[in-house]
Amino acid sequence: MREEPGASPSPISVTSITAPTSPTADAPPEASLLSRAIGAFSGTTGLVVKLCLLGLADALAIWAGAILASHSKWIAFGVLVLATLLLNAVYFGGAKLVPAKFLVPGVIFLIGFQIVPIVYTARVAFTNYSTGHITSKAGAIKAIQANTLQPTPNGAQYTMAPAKDSSGNLVLVLVDQATNKPYVGTEKGLKPLPPGSVKVHAGIVSGVKGYTLITGAELSALTQLDKYKVPVPGGAIQPQGLSLAVALEPTLRYDATTGTFTRITDGAVFRDNGRGAFASAKGEELEPGWVTGVGLDNFDKVLHDKTVRQPFLRVFAWTMVYAAGSVFLTFVLGLLLAVVLDKPGMRFQRPYRSLLVIPFAIPAFLSALVWAGLLNDDFGIINHIFHTHIPWLFDPWWAKVSCLLLNLWLGFPYFFLVCSGALQAIPAELKEAAYVDGGTARQVFRKVTLPLLLVAVAPLMIASFAFNFNNFGNIYLLTGGGPPSTDQPVAGQTDILISYTYKLAFASGKGGDYGLATTVSIFIFVIVATISALSFWRTKALENVQ
């Protein structure tokens, strides 16, 4: 409205204008259970939990440190202290060290479960660590001194009875059969008892003052007597059964000044031969020996010692055939089944695929044991059904075929699944264009489908090769590496390198040869790493990577 001149201004009525209502914002989604759990452990609660966990870790570190210190393992003790201090510094270091809180646990597990075993394996490969060489030199000297104690024709004999002292410790109540003098023997020495304190009836100790005789079921269950020795000047007294003990004298005398053993009967001297044993001039060695470094001797054995090299080369050749043949057969069968079932509109397609995956779902060790029963020469169902007498597990060549058949059964479902997914990922337009250009089904598969398929599958084939190269379980459970070879007792006809290594470590010669076994494991690592690296390098050609 127009305002008249000179008129007083009229009051302006303020009309309240309601702002347009905005669309109602969506309510925030409800937090997941994991998010709520993480939130519950933040703030004060999280601090308390962190303190409790760190306290537990520190308590374990203190316990482990005390044990390491008591065994004089000072290097390990220092590493433990530094790691514990670092762990506490990281988790109390503030915001700047937040990334380290996530890295430190992974690094600790990496070092503990990867680096340390690798370093330990490499170190053992340069030693003579084996049966008879598992202790230190000081421990070997003590063991030799204990082992050389032997009864002598004129040695003293004692009527004996096991007993307990006032503290419950095992002692031997002894009565010299020549002088009738009573003694009590402990692992620290022989102590005379007062005359008449021991009662002997019909050659058996029936009572003793101040000690409790062990009788009945407790005596029958007493197993410490076999190794119980009472040290005496010039030898020891050892139980022979439950009621007799004899004096033992050493057959070797140790001279700490020269560090040699001398055989008392003929004067033969045994010196440190520098290879972890005391040996005479004629090459005779005393047992046990001790662990010592041998340099590259174990590697030299693998390369030049015929008793090790020939089985190694034969086992290596079969391992290559076994790993490559397993990958090839499982891939071919898996691809064939994937192509057959890759038909749009095929009836019962899903049930077929489910049935083909069953061997992959069953634990491999159970399948291996079942196959060992199926291929049994006398009772196996395969020979029974087909009315054959094939020695599946006892003929060298048929045993190798059995190993490949087992791996084919266990491995084809894996490549069937992989190839099925890879085939569905190939664009249909490429195949249609190839058919339009006049290509046959075989040409389209060879020129289009297979190259594109290998781009995805080739790395998995390399991984499968590495897995089968070290597939210990199938060989061990099906054939045990057998049948045995005629030229040497360790490597069987179907042993692969990893099972050969196992036999070297636990079942070779007079016992395990852990140094040689770890050397073979290093060769296995180098072989697998080299083949895998070359294979991955070659697969770049499939991807057209320059």
Mean pLDDT computed over every residue of the chain: 87
CA distance 222 to 220: 6
Q: Which of 16-30, 201-215, 400-414 has the lowest mean pLDDT?
A: 16-30
Q: Please give the distance of CA 526 from its chain centroid, rounded to a whole number.
A: 19
Q: Which residues pair with 261 in a beta bridge?
A: 254, 270
241 in Cβ contact with 159 (< 8 Å): no
Over range 223-248, report the average pLDDT: 88
At residue 546, the pLDDT reads 39
At residue 151, the pLDDT reads 84
Tens digits of residue pLDDT in 438-472: 888 889 889 889 988 998 899 999 999 999 999 99
CA distance 277 to 135: 11
How does residue 201 score in pLDDT terms, banded at 50, 70 and 90? confident
Cα first-last separation, the chain: 83
Cα dihedral 383, 389, 390, 391 in deg (nearest 10): 110
Strands (E), 118-211: 149-151, 157-164, 170-176, 182-186, 189-192, 198-201, 204-208
At residue 538, the pLDDT reads 79
CA distance 232 to 335: 77
Which range of 172-186, 335-349, 350-364 scores highest in mean pLDDT? It is 172-186
At residue 488, the pLDDT reads 81
Bigger pLDDT: 36 or 472? 472
Domain limits, the chain: 45-124, 150-250, 306-539
Q: Span 306-539: which CATH code?
A: 1.10.3720.10
Q: What is the DSSP string of 1-28?
A: -PPPTTPPPPPPP----PPPPPPPPPPP
512 in Cβ contact with 131 (< 8 Å): yes
Tens digits of residue pLDDT in 54-100: 899 899 999 999 999 998 889 989 989 998 898 888 888 777 888 88
CA distance 512 to 455: 44
At residue 418, the pLDDT reads 94
How does residue 101 score in pLDDT terms, banded at 50, 70 and 90? confident
Strands (E), 312-420: none
Q: Which residues contact 309 (CB under 8 A, 6 or more apart)?
A: 301, 302, 303
How does residue 13 score in pLDDT terms, banded at 50, 70 and 90? very low
268 by DSSP, 3-state: which? coil
Q: Span 150-250: which CATH code?
A: 2.40.430
**Looking at the predicted structure, is the pLDDT value of residue 102 above 70?**
yes
How many alpha carbons fall within 13 Å on the CB side of residue 70? 6
Over range 184-191, report the average pLDDT: 92
Q: What is the DSSP string of 197-243?
A: SEEEETTEEEEETTSEE--HHHHHT--GGGG--EEETTEEEEE-SSS
418 in Cβ contact with 337 (< 8 Å): no
Over range 202-212, report the average pLDDT: 90
At residue 191, the pLDDT reads 92
CA distance 446 to 444: 6
How does residue 2 score in pLDDT terms, banded at 50, 70 and 90? very low
Q: Please give the distance of CA 262 from its chain centroid, rounded to a whole number.
A: 42
CA distance 35 to 38: 5
Q: Give the number of other Cβ atoms within 10 Å of residue 182's Cβ.
A: 23
**Looking at the predicted structure, is the pLDDT value of residue 39 above 80?**
no
175 in Cβ contact with 205 (< 8 Å): yes
Tens digits of residue pLDDT in 473-489: 999 999 999 999 888 88
**Looking at the predicted structure, is the pLDDT value of residue 219 above 70?**
yes
**Looking at the predicted structure, is the pLDDT value of residue 12 above 80?**
no
Q: Which helix (H) or strand (E) holds 269?
A: strand 269-272
Over range 194-210, report the average pLDDT: 89
Contacts 24+ apart (CB under 8 A), 479-483: 479/372, 479/393, 479/399, 479/402, 479/403, 482/393, 482/394, 482/399, 483/393, 483/394, 483/395, 483/396, 483/399
What is the Rg, in whole angstroms, of the alpha carbon atoms belonging to the chain?
A: 39
**Looking at the predicted structure, is the pLDDT value of residue 313 above 90?**
yes
CA distance 542 to 545: 8
